Amino acid sequence: FGVNHLGHFFLTFLLLDLLKQSAPSRVINVSSVSHYMGKIQFDDLNSEKDYHPVKAYVQSKLANVLFTRELSRKLRGTGVTVYAVDPGAVYTEAIRHMKQFIQIFITSFNFLIKTPAEGAYTTLYCALTPDLENGGYFSNCAPTVCSRAAADDRSAKKLWDLSCHLLGIRWR
C-alpha cells in the first residue's frame, strides 16, 4: 500500500503545480486487472493486522484506480488529465522473487505473456492519444470497464482523505 499507492499519491502531490503549469499534461497510474480482486481494508490499509502478499497487492492496485478516479475529478478544468492503465501480464525479471513452481509455470507459458515493450503500449497510448476520457481505465490500448469497487466515488473520496491524513498533506 505504501509503495504502490501512497508513493504515487505523494509524488503526484509534489508535481501538481508543475503539471498544472505545463498543461495540457497527463498523469498515468499503472494498475492491473487484479484490481478486480481487491477490496480496500479501510481499517487495515497497511495490512498490519492480516498480511497476505496477494491481498496487499490487489488492494494497492484497486487504490491506484480509485486514486485516478478522484484525482481526475479534482483536476477537472485544469488541463491535467488522469488515466489508470493495465499493462497486462508482462514477463519481467520480477519472477526471480517468486516460488520456483510459479517460475516454472510462467516460463512454460511465457509465449502468452507480453514483453516489457508490449506491456508499455497502453501506457504510451494514454500518454500520446488525444481526447481520451479523463479518469478512464485502459487495457490493450482501449477504454475498459473497471471493477464495481473501483467505480465507487465514496470509496475514492474516503481513500483520498485517508491518504492525505497518512501523509500529513493538504491538496490545494
What are the backbone angles phi and psi of residue 52, rounded to the nearest 5°?
-140, 125
Residue 65: how many CA atoms within 13 Å on its side-chain side? 32
Q: Rounded to whole angstroms, how far apart are CA atoms 20 and 75?
A: 9
Other beta carbons less than 10 A from residue 157's beta carbon: 15
Amino acid at 161: D
Q: Rounded to whole angstroms, how far apart are CA atoms 46 and 24?
A: 34
Q: Rounded to whole angstroms, how far apart are CA atoms 28 and 120?
A: 12
**Running DSSP on this structure, what letter comes out for residue 53?**
H
Annotated catalytic, 91? no
Other beta carbons less than 10 A from residue 78's beta carbon: 13
Write down the catalytic residue from 57, 83, 91, 137: 57
Which residues participate in catalysis according to the annotation? 57
